[in-house]
Amino acid sequence: MNRVAVLGSANADLVVEVDRRPGAGETLLGSDLQVFAGGKGANQASSAARSGATTSFIACVGDDDNGMLLRTALEDAGVDTSGMRHVDRPTGTALILVTPDGENSIVVSPGANQALDVAAADAAVPRWADRDVLVLNLESPLETVEHAAEVAAGRGVRVLLNAAPAHPLSTETLAVCDPLVVNEHEARILADDGGSRSFEELAAVLLERGVRSVVITLGAEGALFGDAGGIGTVPSHAVDVVDTTGAGDAFVGAMACELSRGASLSAAVAFATAVAAVSVQSMGAQSSYPRRGEVERWLDAIRHVTA
Ligand code: RIB
């Protein structure tokens, strides 16, 4: 109970704040460089652990300073990092520009993340194949993700697949997602939709394609969730946004924690929405993630203000 494994990517996030994004061929001056622990998998593991889940992380990093930065940050969050391997490639790196509205542009150099192949996943099976929930995303090789999803589902582990960055998935993989977590852009790609469908229709299409449950994150508009029991929504919280980097990962990790405790999909989405709202109020990905007590106090405070 309340045991989560994340098999996925780890990156050092090299962040520069800029007034606006540069155009082609243009040079802009920005802020001092800030280096944060990031990567979708590492972020999701950090969020799950801070939310209270016993969390193990399976990943590949380089034998370099960024690899150590990630290991230390995850251990501080309470993540079991014994499944992190150091390989002969540079640790994954993300080059991130953050604009004054808190939005970001990201280019990832995967580096060591590419070494998380099927053999590496299989070698780590004892660390992820008997948990309550396995979290996967698409910053790792697709073949590894689809293999792990199949093995986990075959062993009765609930698979939470965050299809980010966007990429089509096999019918077999879609069939074990419980839930599939996507943003609007990713949902439209997986549903082969050019932009005409409503969010409810997108969720219905993805359920028809076989996912057991689906969550579509909608930024400032909250989130929509659906399963065989129907479709529901959770509103977002109005907050002052500083940096949205990793907010989706905060959401995914917190939701995995809640599902691993036996929470309903709607309750898990509600808690995850609060975690994501806290996370966007400060810079960086993992550095902005709250621990469970902080989220509960924040929720109490905003209830008090709105009562
Ligand atoms: O989802 C945010 C993450 O995407 C960043 O931490 C960056 O590393 C990229 O992987």
**Structure confidence by residue, pLDDT tens digits, 183-238:** 999 999 999 999 899 999 999 999 999 999 999 999 888 999 999 999 999 999 99
C-beta 186 within 6 A of ligand 1 = no
Does residue 307 surpass a pLDDT of 70?
no
Residues involved in catalysis: 249
The whole-number pLDDT of residue 305 equals 75
CA-nearest residue, atom 2 of ligand 1 = 246
- Ligand 1: distance of its center to the CA of 39 in Å? 4
Q: What is the pLDDT of residue 220?
A: 84
E-only strand ranges, the chain: 3-7, 11-17, 34-38, 54-62, 80-87, 92-98, 104-109, 133-137, 158-162, 177-183, 213-217, 223-227, 230-234
> Which atom of ligand 1 is found nearest the CA of 164?
1
Q: Whose CA is nearest to atom 1 of ligand 1?
A: 246
Ligand 1 pocket, 70 CB below 6 A?
no
pLDDT-derived band of residue 167, with 50, 70 and 90 as boundaries?
very high
C-beta of 245 in contact with ligand 1 (< 6 A): yes
Separation of CA 23 and ligand 1 centre (Å):
22
Structural domain boundaries of the chain? Answer: 3-20+31-306
Supply the pLDDT for residue 306.
Answer: 66
Ligand 1 centroid from CA 161, angstroms: 16
DSSP-derived letter for residue 78 is T
CA 302 to the chain's CA centroid: 25
**Triad 180, 191, 221: Cα angle to 5°:** 65
Task: Give the CATH number of domain 3-20+31-306.
Answer: 3.40.1190.20
Q: Tell how strand 223-227 and strand 92-98 pair up.
A: unpaired
Q: What does the pLDDT look like over 98-152, one tens digit per residue?
A: 999 999 999 999 999 999 999 999 999 999 988 999 999 999 999 999 999 999 9
Q: Which atom of ligand 1 is nearest to the CA of 96?
A: 7
Tell me the Cα Rg of the chain: 18
Atom of ligand 1 nearest to the CA of 36: 6
Write out pLDDT tens, residues 47-103.
999 999 999 999 999 999 999 999 999 999 999 999 999 999 999 999 999 999 999
Q: Is 139 in the pocket of ligand 1 (CB under 6 A)?
A: yes
Is the separation of the CB atoms in 209 and 224 below 8 Å?
Answer: no
The span from the CA of 283 to the CA of 179, in Å, is 28
